[in-house]
Amino acid sequence: MAERGAAQSSASSGESLLFLTDEQLRRGIEAMFFAYRGFTADPDRILENYAYGRAHHRAIHFINRSPGTTVNNLLAILGVTKQSLNRVLRTLVEDGLVESRVGTRDKRERHLYLTDQGIALERELSEAQRTRMRAAYRAAGPDAVAGFRTVLEQMMDPELRHHYFSNTEGGA
């Protein structure tokens, strides 16, 4: 499936065996833009009620996914500066949604956990997001979903892909 031709610009070659025309690619690009907006719309609406933003959502999501993760881990996943993350984390700790425990093995590290309140907000946010995703998956069908995931994973930076999608494929 790799030898899909050279995908040259626009209509230079009439080969319609190609599906990688600039027009097709442009549609994919716009689809990403609009879909991402839809994807974040529901959580954004909820977050307004709590005076939080997307940055808080991301922190909550990944702490929920990996309870006990360290600040440095989170930094690597989120790809922001520690100052930026710290600002978000501080408010979440102050508000009692996240607990920061000093490490036992290495006391410099802080291990992050959601409190019951944090878990509640995570549920609310992810449930909204899953609902939309579920609807899209249902409407598109299983084959489309597989393709969706495949392309998305190929679109990420390779390092990240290996890190997060190499050993998680066992399930299902």
Partner DNA sequence: CTTGGAAAGTCAACAAGGCTGACATAAAGT
Partner DNA sequence: ACTTTATGTCAGCCTTGTTGACTTTCCAAG
Q: Which residues ranging from 105 to 164 are in contact with a second copy (CB under 8 A)?
A: 123, 126-127, 129-130, 132-157, 160-161, 164
Residue 157 in contact with DNA, rule: CB under 7 A = no
User: By rule CB under 8 A, what count of residues binds a second copy?
Assistant: 71
Provide DSSP, 99-168: EEEE-SSSTT-EEEEE-HHHHHHHHHHHHHHHHHHHHHHHHH-HHHHHHHHHHHHHHS-HHHHHHHHSSS
User: Which of a second copy, DNA, none is residue 56 near (CB under 5 to 8 Å by kind)?
Assistant: DNA
Residue 92 in contact with DNA, rule: CB under 7 A = no
User: Which of DNA, a second copy, none is residue 100 near (CB under 5 to 8 Å by kind)?
Assistant: DNA
Residue 40 in contact with DNA, rule: CB under 7 A = no
CA separation for the pair 60, 131 (Å, rounded): 18
Q: 94-153: which residues touch DNA (CB under 7 A)?
A: 100, 102-103, 105-110
Rounded to a whole number of angstroms, the minimum distance from the CB of residue 102 to a second copy is 28
Residue 89 in contact with DNA, rule: CB under 7 A = yes
Nearest to 112 by CA among 127, 133, 90: 90
Question: Other C-beta atoms within 10 Å of 120: how many?
Answer: 12
CA separation for the pair 58, 77 (Å, rounded): 10
CA separation for the pair 121, 107 (Å, rounded): 29
Positions in the binding site for DNA (CB under 7 A): 51-56, 58, 70-72, 75, 79-90, 100, 102-103, 105-110
